[in-house]
Structure 1
C-alpha cells in the first residue's frame, strides 16, 4: 500500500523531527499530555511550569518558571532558543487555571484574586507570544496554539468570573495575532477543551458537584462521556502539523459535542 509520504513526496504531517516545541504548563494535565505527544512525534520539547516534574517522558526538558513574571517568561523563551540555536517552531500556551479560587459572588472578589487569574491565563499567553514573535518572524514560519476553554465561548462551569473573562480574552488575542502574524507565515489557533478531569483543580471541581450534577454534565455531552488530556493533545498536534497549513485564527472545541 502506498503511504501518504510516498504519494506526496513529503514527510508525514505528524512527524515533528527537527522541530522545537515549547509548552507552558507542561508538568501536569493538558500540558504534560501535549509535551509527551510532541516528544513521541520526534520534536525537541521544552516545557515550563510553576513547579518542576520528577517523572514523565525523559525527552521533555522542564523548567520551573513563574509565568506571571513577564521577564521570566521572556527569559525562558530566550533560553529555549539559545539551547537549540534556532527559533521556536511550535509554541503551546497552555498555562492557566483558576489559581486555587472557588465560585464566589462578584461583590466578594478581591482585586488581587481577579488580577492573579487574569495574569496566569491572559498575561502568560501575551508574554510568551511576545517573546517568541521575533524569532518566528525571522524564520517566517511557526505555529502558536493557545489553550482556551469552553469558557471562552460561554459562561464557565467554574462560576469564576475572572477565569471566564480571561479565557474570552485569550481567544481574542489568538484571533488578533493570527492576522498580525499571518503575513510572516505564522499560524495562531486555539483549542477549547470541554470539562476534563485532568489535574487537582478539576478533580476538586468535579468533587464539589452532587451526583445529580455530575450526571447532568456527562449527559450534556453528545458522546456521553468526559474527554481525556490526550484527546486535547491530539487536537493541538493537528493545529501544529502540516495538516493545518492553511488553518489560521480558528478555535477548535474539543468537548465531545455539547
Structure 2
C-alpha cells in the first residue's frame, strides 16, 4: 500500500458495511478478499456459516433501504474523473436530466463520475442514491448522496443495481465500469432480466470497444448480430436520457399488455 493511500485511509476512515473504522481498527484486507482467499485452514468450517448470515443481512438491508426508491436509472463511470472536466460536467447533466425525466439516480456513491451524477440529481431536486463498497483504498460516500447503503460484498451490491434500476447509463470508466457494464449485458443477453436499456456515453471513448466487439466477437461467432444492438453509443446527456426514457416507456407498455393478456386469458371461460 502506498503512503498516499495509507494517509487517505487514515484521514477519511474506512467503511466495512455500516461500520466506520479509523486508526488501528482499519483492516489490511477486505471482506471479499477474505472470502475468496484460496488457501485457508479448517477454521472456514466455523466461519462460513456466519458469513452466510452476514451476506443475508446485506441483502435484507439493501432490499429494505431501496424498496421504495421508485423508477431509477444507474449511472456508472470512473471514480478518477475530477471536477471541472468535461466528463464531470457531462455526468452532472445526465443526473439532472434523469431527474427531470422522472427517475431517481443511482451510482456507486464514490467520487468522480459517480459524485457528478449524484450532484446533478440532488441539485435538480431528485433522489440521489449511492451504493458504496468496501475497498482497500476507501473512497467513502460522496456528499451528494441522499440515500446511501454500504456493502461488504460486490455481488450483493450488484444485485441492488440491477434489481432497483430500469436502465444503465455508462460514462467513461475503468475496470469497475467494465465489470458493471458486461455483467448487465450478460444478464440481458441471457434473459435473466427483462431487457432494459444500456447506453454508452462518449463515442470517442467507447468507439474502439464497440468496433472490437463487432470485428472480433461478432465475426468469430461468439455473439449474435442482435447482441450488438444492446450497446447504443451517444455523445450527449440529452441523447442518453431520451434513449433511456423512450426504451423504458416501450418496455412498460409491453409489460402492461402482457399483464392484460394474461388476466384476460385467466378469466376466460373454459
Interval of TM-score (by shorter of Structure 1 and Structure 2): 0.3 to 0.5
The structure that is helix-richer by fraction is: 2
Q: TM-score, normalised on structure 2?
A: 0.40
The two structures have a TM-score, normalised by structure 1, of 0.42
Structure ID, larger Rg: 2
